[in-house]
Amino acid sequence: MVITTPKQHNLTESLGKATQNILHNAFYLAKQKLELSRSEYKQLLREWGWEKEDKKYLKVAQTFEKFSPLDLAEIEPDTLFGLSKQSKKYTSVIEQLLDMGSITQEKVRKLIKAQRKPRTSKPEKPTIWRRNKNGKRYCQVPPIDDETTGVALQSMMDSEGKSAQQIIAEAVALRQAFIEGRLVVCENQRTNNDVEVSDDESEYKNHNSCDLEISGRIEEQLVSKSEREDYAIYSDNIILNPIQTQETIESLSAQLLTVVENIVHIGKEQYKEVKELVASIISFCASLPVSEQWKAFTDITHRKTKALAVIIGYSEKQHKNWLFNLPQLIANAALTNPFELEWVGKRLRTEALLLISNGRE
């Protein structure tokens, strides 16, 4: 057997012929489409076994109609189709080719690269997110190079028996509340922000939970200054009838505790009555001097978390201002009786503690 070496194949020349053939056929197809009727043109495509294959060739003919097949012979076929497919994007490239005496693949490639906009690399944002070996995401706070913060955090961990993660989570929750306008720096032990209380009637079904969280009953939201009223600011010089006041407290308390005991049986028929009762309780407390409001409130609720949940859950929007003052009333009471912080729920307790902290600074 005699092994012969095949004749060296000139790839550039072969591709050049392919490009010219593509252009010749594209121009021919465009001419047929122009001269033939629509039905005749469709028949021609069917004879070739084509359906929509003609579209890319018509696009080539349209894009390079000012060139001859020989002018573009050195352009690689895929580049030819790429330029025609995105002719609007590469309009300037095609116009520059018209002014060239000799068009080569290298020149075309350089023009295409110059046309493309350089990608601007976006700086990576710092992230605290990591993934464990199981792919679950968790956050990891980088080292805090601040001795004061470290000492304070360690002191809280030792005195409160909480982990660093728990304390940081509470701190983040407080800061988020401040950013959203739900907490403000108090002046003269009071705040001017308002609270939006949800009055969705479907909430009556949710009060049967023993561990009802107070924070879930308040939808905080800032309102305009023109809507603000201060239910909690009244003169302590108001003279009230103590007997009548006590009778009112006992009556409201009895009705409220009855509702708490039967909360799972509250239906739409009783919904309006409960809302009216809650409105009476808030209006009564708001009518008292500030120094007496918290005592009256605790006498009515008997310091029962469920009773507090009912008041917040069934309150109307017009009572949002007085409800927003609850953290301040709790903070004032907790200065002499820390137990007041234990029964009011996590959200109110956190806000009251923040107010106490601000007052000591």
Residues 194 and 333 in one domain: yes
Q: Is residue 94 part of a domain?
A: yes
pLDDT band (50, 70, 90) for residue 52: confident
Average pLDDT of the residues in 170-191: 65
User: What are 12's two structure tokens?
Assistant: 């550039």
Q: Choose the final residue of a domain: 81, 115, 149.
A: 115
Confidence of residue 356 (pLDDT cuts 50, 70, 90): low
Give how far the C-alpha of residue 101 lies from the chain's centroid of Cα atoms, to the nearest Å.
Answer: 57
Confidence of residue 58 (pLDDT cuts 50, 70, 90): very high
Reply yes or no on whether the pLDDT at 216 is more than 70. Answer: no
pLDDT of residue 240: 47
Q: Are residues 214 and 308 in the same domain?
A: yes
In a domain, 139, yes or no: no
Within-domain flag for 135: no
Asked if 59 contacts 94 with a C-beta cutoff of 8 angstroms, the reply is no
- Average pLDDT of the chain is 75
- Residue at a domain's end among 61, 91, 115: 115
For the question of whether the overall pTM of this predicted structure is more than 0.75, the answer is no
Instruction: Check whether 267 has a pLDDT greater than 50.
Output: yes
Q: In this structure, are 206 and 99 located in the same domain?
A: no
- Domain membership flag for residue 162: no
Q: Say if residue 32 is in the same domain as residue 110.
A: yes
The per-residue pLDDT for 160 is 86
Say whether both 185 and 104 belong to one domain: no
**Higher local confidence (pLDDT), 321 or 254:** 254
236 has a pLDDT exceeding 50: no
* Confidence band for 37, pLDDT divided at 50, 70 and 90: very high
Write down the H helix ranges in 116-193: 147-160, 164-179
pLDDT of residue 7: 52
191 and 288 share one domain:
yes
Q: At what angle do helices 242-261 and 290-301 cross, to 10 degrees?
A: 40
Total number of domains in the chain:
2
Mean pLDDT of 263-285: 81
Q: What is the pLDDT of residues 293-328, one digit of tens each?
A: 888 888 988 888 888 888 878 877 767 777 777 888
Let me know whether 283 and 199 are in one domain.
yes
Instruction: Provide the pLDDT for residue 201.
Output: 41
Q: Is residue 28 part of a domain?
A: yes
Q: What is the mean pLDDT of residues 36-58?
A: 90
Residues 108 and 238 in one domain: no
- Claim to verify: residue 104 and residue 213 sit in the same structural domain: no
For residue range 277-286, what is the model confidence (pLDDT) as tens digits?
A: 888 888 888 8
Does residue 163 sit within a domain?
A: no
Question: 105 with 224, same domain?
Answer: no
Q: Is residue 6 part of a domain?
A: no
pLDDT of 123 > 80? The answer is no
Q: What pLDDT is stored for residue 31 in this prediction?
A: 92
Q: Where do we find the tokens 């003919």?
A: 61
Q: Is residue 186 part of a domain?
A: yes
Domain coverage including residue 18? 11-115
3, with CB counted inside 10 A (0-12, 13-18, 19+), is: exposed
Percentage of residues in the chain having pLDDT higher than 70: 74
Judged against a pLDDT cut of 60, whether residue 226 lies above it is answered with: no
Same domain, 188 and 109: no
Q: Looking at the structure, do residues 220 and 332 belong to the same domain, yes or no?
A: yes
CA angle 44, 50, 52 (to 5 degrees): 110
Of 100, 115, 130, the residue at which a domain comes to its end is 115
